[in-house]
């Protein structure tokens, strides 16, 4: 087995308990016993979303829930406003375009966050907008959007508020009901620390009102079918779910409950602060505006005269630490350190120790222990 330390913004390493749960034998997915596991898992999911609404599990990665959010609520030709400040904002827009929806872009410079005022202005200027999509944690740039404040703006408009919390739920503050989020989506493989392959979506009454009056643009992700099957006895999914992944997610959610959601967020905040301090101590620069930097992933500018292959390649091959690269036009210009899921002091100490050695080995005149010292200070 490869023992490389995954410091990625997903997928993240999972606890042995989660792996073990996944190895339980398959049961009938239309049985009382599975119905119980399924119900408890979706209830725990709603707890993590902080909502009284029902949550649904989709056998698909996070993108499937993004697609479900759009394809069930907006008709072809209708307007949606997509906040785009990175790869995943773009994805929402591409999904909308693929269904013939009139996607309006609220473009935000990559590395900065949208402001509630910008959303307000866009909505004031166009009363035909049926929904607004916001990516809470733009994983491609390491920026966190102010979803609570945007929610306050959204309350004054009829448009649905759709939020992607794929790389923040279980690691940063998300409070679906209090923030006025109508549809919230996430994925299993990031802060929830379950294996990849499941998505979750939660929808409030406002969202259901729209969905019930909209012909779904998708067959597999038709949420009306998930609602109907989920309300049965036993509760089911319309199609065969990934039983093993649901065992795993159930266990991962139990771990979150045991840790306590607030404790878990504070653990992520500490890891984020330690990472930023360590990056700076090694003479590197944080890519995003620090005021809006993410709690779950730190994006770092690639130092001059160093290639991605040299930096991440050395980290991977020599020190067995896997970091993420930049995406799209940021490829080669930034690298990203994921500190989500189970990441804590030990992993950060190894990562920044290795990063110091990598930079020193590449000829940088630095104190190679400065990064790990900054991590230590943050955890003292």
Sites for ligand PLP among residues 178-197 (CB under 6 A): 187
Q: How many residues bind ligand PLP (CB under 6 A)?
A: 12
Which stretch of DSSP H or E encloses residue 304?
none
* For ligand PLP, the closer CB: 88 or 110: 88
- The angle that helices 243-259 and 261-281 make with each other, rounded to 10 degrees, is 80
Spatial distance between the Cα atoms of 37 and 35, rounded to a whole number of angstroms: 6
* For ligand PLP, the closer CB: 312 or 378: 312
Spatial distance between the Cα atoms of 149 and 235, rounded to a whole number of angstroms: 35
* For ligand PLP, the closer CB: 198 or 359: 198
**209: CB partners within 8 A, 6+ apart:** none
Of 59-67, 208-216, 256-264, 282-290, the window that binds ligand PLP (rule: CB under 6 A) is 59-67
* For ligand PLP, the closer CB: 164 or 236: 164
Q: Is residue 58 close enough to count as binding ligand PLP by CB under 6 A?
A: no
Of 103-111, 133-141, 144-152, 241-249, the window that binds ligand PLP (rule: CB under 6 A) is 133-141
Q: Is residue 63 close enough to count as binding ligand PLP by CB under 6 A?
A: yes
Question: Rounded to the nearest 5 degrees, what angle is found at the Cα of 341, between the Cα atoms of 332 and 198?
Answer: 90
- Chain centroid offset of residue 43 CA: 19
Count Cα atoms within 13 angstroms, Cβ side, for 374. Answer: 23
88, 99, 161, 208: residue in contact with ligand PLP (rule CB under 6 A): 88
* For ligand PLP, the closer CB: 134 or 306: 134
DSSP 8-state secondary structure symbol assigned to residue 292: G
38, 73, 164, 348: residue in contact with ligand PLP (rule CB under 6 A): 164
**Residue 103: closest CA among 91, 117, 113:** 91
Does residue 85 contact residue 61 with C-beta atoms inside 8 Å?
no
Q: Is residue 8 close enough to count as binding ligand PLP by CB under 6 A?
A: no
Can you give the binding site for ligand PLP, defined by CB under 6 A? Answer: 10, 61-63, 88, 135, 137, 139, 164, 166-167, 187
């Amino acid at each position: 087995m490869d023992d490389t330390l995954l410091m990625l913004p997903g997928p993240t390493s999972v606890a042995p308990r989660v792996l073990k749960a996944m190895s339980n034998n398959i049961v009938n997915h239309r049985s009382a016993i599975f119905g119980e596991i399924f119900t408890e898992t979706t209830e725990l999911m709603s707890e993590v979303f902080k909502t009284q609404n029902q949550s649904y599990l989709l056998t698909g990665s996070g993108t499937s829930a993004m697609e479900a959010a759009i394809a069930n609520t907006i008709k072809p030709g209708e307007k949606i406003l997509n906040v785009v400040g990175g790869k995943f904002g773009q994805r929402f827009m591409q999904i909308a375009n693929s269904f013939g929806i009139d996607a309006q872009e609220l473009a935000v410079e990559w590395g900065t966050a949208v402001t509630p005022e910008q959303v307000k202005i866009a909505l004031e200027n166009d009363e035909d907008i049926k929904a607004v999509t916001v990516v809470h944690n733009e994983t491609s740039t390491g920026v966190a959007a102010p979803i609570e404040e945007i929610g306050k703006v959204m309350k004054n408009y009829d448009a649905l508020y759709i939020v992607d919390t794929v790389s923040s739920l279980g690691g940063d503050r998300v409070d679906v009901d209090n923030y006025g989020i109508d549809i919230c989506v996430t994925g299993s493989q990031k802060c929830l620390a379950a294996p990849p392959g499941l998505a979750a979506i939660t929808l409030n009454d406002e969202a259901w009102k729209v969905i019930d009056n909209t012909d779904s643009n998708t067959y597999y992700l038709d949420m009306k079918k998930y609602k109907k099957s989920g309300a049965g006895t036993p509760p089911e999914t319309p199609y065969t779910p990934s039983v093993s992944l649901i065992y795993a997610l159930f266990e991962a959610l139990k771990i979150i409950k045991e840790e306590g959601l607030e404790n878990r967020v504070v653990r992520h905040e500490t890891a984020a602060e330690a990472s930023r301090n360590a990056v700076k101590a090694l003479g590197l620069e944080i890519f995003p505006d620090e005021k809006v930097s993410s709690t779950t992933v730190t994006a770092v500018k690639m130092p001059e005269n160093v290639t991605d292959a040299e930096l991440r390649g050395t980290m991977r091959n020599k020190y067995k630490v896997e970091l993420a690269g930049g995406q799209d036009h940021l490829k080669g210009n930034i690298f990203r350190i994921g500190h989500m899921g189970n990441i804590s002091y030990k992993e950060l100490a190894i990562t920044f120790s290795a990063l110091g050695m990598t930079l020193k080995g590449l000829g940088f005149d630095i104190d190679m222990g400065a990064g790990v010292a900054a991590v230590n200070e943050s955890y003292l």
